[in-house]
Chains A and B, each alone.
Chain A
């Protein structure tokens, strides 16, 4: 069964600094998709970034980028120039729907605090 592990329950970063959130996953599949979702105190689930496993190039969305290491099954999120609005719970998620549930498998989350 696929699993997603976020080993950092909480992280803290100074405003304007850079922080990296870790995520590892376990799968026997070769084609799948990885996502990072942000959940602010409003509880909304907001997509931050996504990565297709068949793409070697790391995805980037403005201040957010990933370091995707397929062989190591690692998918970390880097937030550059951290802002107060980045404070939230961050979830790493995996999806493969080759005839299966098509669900997102989530990690348990990392709570990010941003210090002014």
Chain B
């Protein structure tokens, strides 16, 4: 089954404690992206990757890091989480062609205390 898998689904942690949200897709997609969803703001892109070893900042990259060492994996790293990063996070992937819809993971709810 074609899917994007995020882990964990939920996490409550404290300020400053490094965390990683994993994302894996099994569709051989070149393009992967992270979004955060906040009430009243919709979804905003954090980082994206056009292919292996190619990553770039989206619209709200501050406080986040990513890596793309393998085509299927695109982890999101919060080196020193802060309360303003409490949000719902989505990983998405798609073929490089832009008319193809992005496939989303089920979301990760992060709470930073």
By DSSP majority rule, is chain B's interface helix, strand, loop, or mixed?
strand
Q: In residues 12-69 of chain B, which contact A (Cβ within 8 Å)?
A: 31, 33, 35, 40-45, 48, 50, 56, 58-59
Q: In residues 28-63 of chain A, which contact B (Cβ within 8 Å)?
A: 32-33, 35, 37, 42-45, 47, 50, 52
Q: How far is the CA of A96 from the CA of B40 in the complex (A)?
A: 23
Task: Contact check, B48 vs A45: say whether CB atoms are below 8 A apart.
Answer: no
Contact of A35 among B40, B48, B59, B101 (CB under 8 A): B101
Task: Contact check, B104 vs A103: say whether CB atoms are below 8 A apart.
Answer: no
Q: In residues 93-113 of chain B, which contact A (Cβ within 8 Å)?
A: 96, 98-99, 101-102, 104, 106-107, 109
Contact of A45 among B50, B58, B99, B104 (CB under 8 A): B104
Contact of B88 among A4, A43, A95 (CB under 8 A): A43
Q: How far is the CA of A91 from the CA of B88 in the complex (A)?
A: 15
Q: How far is the CA of A43 from the CA of B105 in the complex (A)?
A: 10
Q: How far is the CA of A17 from the CA of B20 in the complex (A)?
A: 45
Contacts of B31 in A (CB 8 A): 102
Contact of A97 among B43, B59, B98 (CB under 8 A): B98
Q: How far is the CB of A26 from chain B (nearest CB, A)?
A: 15
Would you give the 0/1 interface string for B67-97, flagging 1 where the beta carbon is closer than 8 Å to chain A? Answer: 0000000000000000000001010100010
Q: How far is the CB of A45 from chain B (nearest CB, A)?
A: 4
Task: Contact check, A50 vs B101: say whether CB atoms are below 8 A apart.
Answer: yes
Q: How far is the CB of A4 from chain B (nearest CB, A)?
A: 8
Q: How far is the CA of A36 from the CA of B101 in the complex (A)?
A: 10
Contacts of A108 in B (CB 8 A): 40-42
Contact flag A44-B107 (CB < 8 Å), given A95-B98, A101-B58? yes
Contacts of B40 in A (CB 8 A): 108
Q: How far is the CA of A91 from the CA of B50 in the complex (A)?
A: 24
Q: How far is the CA of A47 from the CA of B109 in the complex (A)?
A: 21
